[in-house]
């Protein structure tokens, strides 16, 4: 997985740099791949893009120690029973069960941010 390291605390990625980053399959989830932009020093919190191929899905799961933010960058999918299209935002609280299903016929790209709970320090 390619993760870029911030210089002096900042990480600036141009569109060309993002486009050139390879997609890596999400283990155990056919039709879903990711690009990781940033990971904290402990390797626990991270951000990047997630791509769902047409009709792909991520079954019910939870993040026991992390909050999950998602912005739909392109296409649409369902989070639970709610259709989330380009420009939509989702917050999944710590430990909440959720799924991402029914990616549209053109797939879906999601900007994600996982933030480790401060209580885990």
String of b and e for 23-43 (b: at least 16 CB within 10 Å)?
eeebeebebbbbbbbebeeee
C-beta of residue 49 within 8 angstroms of C-beta of residue 114: no
Residue 13 is assigned to a structural domain of this protein = no
Q: Find the CATH number of the domain harbouring 114.
A: 2.60.120.10
Residue 17 is assigned to a structural domain of this protein = no
Q: What six digits make up the tokens of 22? A: 């390879």
Residue 53 is assigned to a structural domain of this protein = yes
Q: Which domain holds residue 74?
A: 23-120
What is the DSSP track for 20-53? Answer: HSPPEEPTT-TTEEEEEEEE-TTS--EEEEEEE-
C-alpha to C-alpha distance for 74 and 35, rounded to whole angstroms? 15
Label the pairing between strands 98-101 and 66-79.
antiparallel
Residue 10 is assigned to a structural domain of this protein = no
Number of domains in the chain: 1
C-alpha to C-alpha distance for 36 and 82, rounded to whole angstroms? 26
Chain segment 13-35, per-residue pLDDT in tens: 999 999 999 999 999 999 999 99
Residue 6 is assigned to a structural domain of this protein = no
> Closest by alpha carbon to 37, among 25, 62, 19?
19
Residue 39 is assigned to a structural domain of this protein = yes
Chain segment 36-89, per-residue pLDDT in tens: 999 988 888 999 999 999 999 999 999 888 999 999 999 999 999 999 999 999
Chain segment 82-117, per-residue pLDDT in tens: 999 999 999 999 999 999 999 999 999 999 999 998
Residue 80 is assigned to a structural domain of this protein = yes
């Amino acid at each position: 997985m390619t993760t870029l390291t911030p210089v002096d605390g900042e990480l600036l990625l141009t569109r060309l740099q993002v486009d050139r980053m390879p997609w890596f399959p999400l283990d155990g989830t056919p039709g879903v791949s990711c690009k990781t932009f940033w990971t904290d020093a402990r390797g626990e919190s991270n951000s990047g893009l997630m791509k769902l191929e047409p009709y792909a899905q991520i079954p019910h799961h939870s993040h026991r120690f992390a909050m999950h933010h998602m912005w739909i960058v392109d296409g649409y999918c369902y989070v639970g029973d709610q259709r989330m299209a380009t420009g939509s935002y989702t917050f999944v609280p710590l430990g909440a069960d959720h799924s991402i299903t029914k990616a549209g016929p053109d797939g879906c790209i999601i900007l994600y941010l996982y933030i480790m709970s401060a209580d885990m320090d």
